[in-house]
Amino acid sequence: MHTPICPTSFTADDTINRLVNLMKHSLSLLALFLSVSLVNAQDVIIRAGHVVDVELSTVQDDQMILVSDGIITAIGTDIDIPSGARIVDLSDSYVLPGLIDAHTHMGLTRQARRDFGAYYFTTLLESTAYRAIVGVTNLRSMLETGFTTIRDVGNAGNYADSDLRRAVEEGWIPGPKIINSGRLIAPYGGQFHLQPERKDLAEPEYFFADTQEELRKAVRQNVHYGATVIKIIVDNQPYVYSEEDMAAAVDEAARMGIRVAAHAYWDETAKNAIMGGVVSIEHGTNLSDEILQLMKDRNVYLVGTDFPRERSPREYDARIDRIARAYRIGTPMAYGTDETWYRDGTTRGSLSLEYIDSYLEAGVPSSYILKMMTVNAADLLGIADERGVLRVGLAADIVAVNENPLEDITSVRGVHFVMRDGVIYKEDNHFHWDIPMVIGD
């Protein structure tokens, strides 16, 4: 017969010993916490051989950058070095702001051998928990590759993206700063064609909203569950959102300080979104010069997500033409990849840098592509007052490469140093990160 353990069977000595051990353990945790706090608060001096000004497309040589409490506090040739500061030698490198991917999906990874290359099957086979687990690996690779900020625009099941952002912010996993959209808001059916016996197959991937009231409710619920940007699928169905529909969603989001991005391929739907007040057109594959000019006039960003030729051979030439026309017209552009594939021997981060080739083939200069990946993207995301350039008072999101990216943007594929918010994650091509505190023995 099982005899239950009675708490009162402990002796006084047992109780005292347990209390002493508990106090020792607590003091050890406190010491660990304080030591981590001191490390995170330590001043860092970066000796930079070349500092890249992405706004002016210039380089300043032999600079020092002082980082204190995650913020750039001084940049110059001769600054006072605080006592005890850590010295990082990047005197043979080009130092620039951390990169930004303004259109990505951490919770979606397509593998042809498992889901036939179809996004539809992915949504059926992968739970929200699985999306989050995959997202952890994708986030680390993005940070390791030099992306210190991303805008995650959905396809994360039932708010896996919100939980990934929270885990990064609380220090449980390494990753870029995340701006996330929650569930995709779309007219009935989203990007799928459903069958009447399986009407629920597109949920929770999409939040169906077919009236202005439903749009407002969808925006509210997304924000409630952690969205920090809203993404709306304007087309993909015969019925599309009108200018008035988009204006209602934008108005509702603006009440909470949230911006709206619009997935749109065609002139009509893009115009409805632009006139409705969105900050960006995602994809915009088939836009005319007239719409590109309208975007310039209203300062609406094009986030083109233009795949490399080998992944989009049939559409590639048209996409290259659209990039070239947008650059010639002066349509503001931000770098976004829409990368969702996995290929053996690659990571999400390395694949995301392949998209540079499309812009180069379209004749876009390296200096402007770098702006797309930094200052332009920061402006689009609403964080230009904190990131996107190397400036006193802004967050210390800093990466380093061996060659001048203003002359050869492909040099960013060789990032060998990564700092985000003053914390060094990659140094001498070695990625290192530790959970700040481990509870337990």
Query: What is the DSSP secondary structure assignment for residue 138, as one 8-state letter?
Result: H
The CATH number assigned to the domain with range 99-387 reads: 3.20.20.140
Q: Which residue has the tokens 């290359």?
A: 117
DSSP 178-236: EEE--SEEESTTTTS---GGGTTTTTTTEEE--SHHHHHHHHHHHHHTT-SSEEEE--S
Q: What pLDDT, on the 0 to 100 scale, is given for residue 436?
A: 53
Q: What pLDDT is recorded for position 334?
A: 98
Residue 390 vs residues 55, 67, 215, 377: alpha-carbon distances, Å: 10, 11, 38, 14
Cα–Cα distance list, 24 to 17, 34, 87, 278, 439 (Å): 11, 15, 35, 56, 13
Sign of the dihedral defined by the CA atoms of residues 399, 75, 78, 38, in that order: negative
Q: Scanning the structure block, which residue is given the tokens 């059926």?
A: 124
Which pLDDT score is estimated for 33? 41
For residue 184, the cross-strand partners are: 206
Domain boundaries, the chain: 42-97+390-432, 99-387
Q: Give the SS3 label for residue 67.
A: strand
Asked if residues 85 and 68 have their Cβ atoms less than 8 Å apart, the reply is no
**What single letter denotes the amino acid at residue 391?**
R
Read off the tokens for 323.
């990039």
Per-residue pLDDT of the chain (441 residues; tens, 9 = 90+): 443 333 334 344 554 454 445 444 444 444 444 433 333 458 999 999 999 999 999 999 999 999 999 999 999 998 999 999 999 999 999 999 999 999 999 999 876 545 555 666 777 778 999 999 999 999 999 999 999 999 999 999 999 999 999 999 999 999 999 999 999 999 998 888 888 888 888 888 899 999 999 999 999 999 999 999 999 999 988 999 999 999 999 999 999 999 999 999 999 999 999 999 999 999 999 999 999 999 999 999 999 999 988 888 888 999 999 999 999 999 999 999 999 988 889 999 999 999 999 999 999 999 999 999 999 999 999 999 999 999 999 999 999 999 999 999 999 999 999 999 999 999 999 998 875 544 443
Q: How far is CA 398 from the centre of its chain?
A: 15
The pLDDT, as a whole number, for residue 12 is 46
In this prediction, residue 126 carries a pLDDT of: 85
pTM exceeding 0.75: yes
In which residue are the tokens 């083109």 written? 304
DSSP secondary structure string for all residues of 268-336: HHHHHHHHHT-SEEEE-TT--HHHHHHHHHHTPEEE-----GGG-TTTHHHHHHHHHHHHHHT--B---
Domain 42-97+390-432 sits in which CATH superfamily? Urease, subunit C, domain 1 (2.30.40.10)
Res 311: pLDDT = 82
State the Cα–Cα distance between residues 309 and 181, nearest whole angstrom.
Answer: 28
List residues bridging with 223 in a β-sheet: none
The two three-digit tokens of residue 162, written as one number: 């919100």
- For residues 284 and 230, give the distance between their C-alpha atoms in angstroms, rounded to a whole number: 17
Q: How many CB atoms lie within 10 A of CB 110?
A: 17
Amino acid at 428: D
How many residues comprise the chain?
441
What does the block give as tokens for 167? 């885990």
Find out whether 387 and 411 touch, Cβ atoms under 8 Å. Answer: no
Query: Residue 44's closest CA among 64, 19, 23, 20?
Result: 64
Report the pLDDT value the prediction gives residue 37, as an integer from 0 to 100.
39
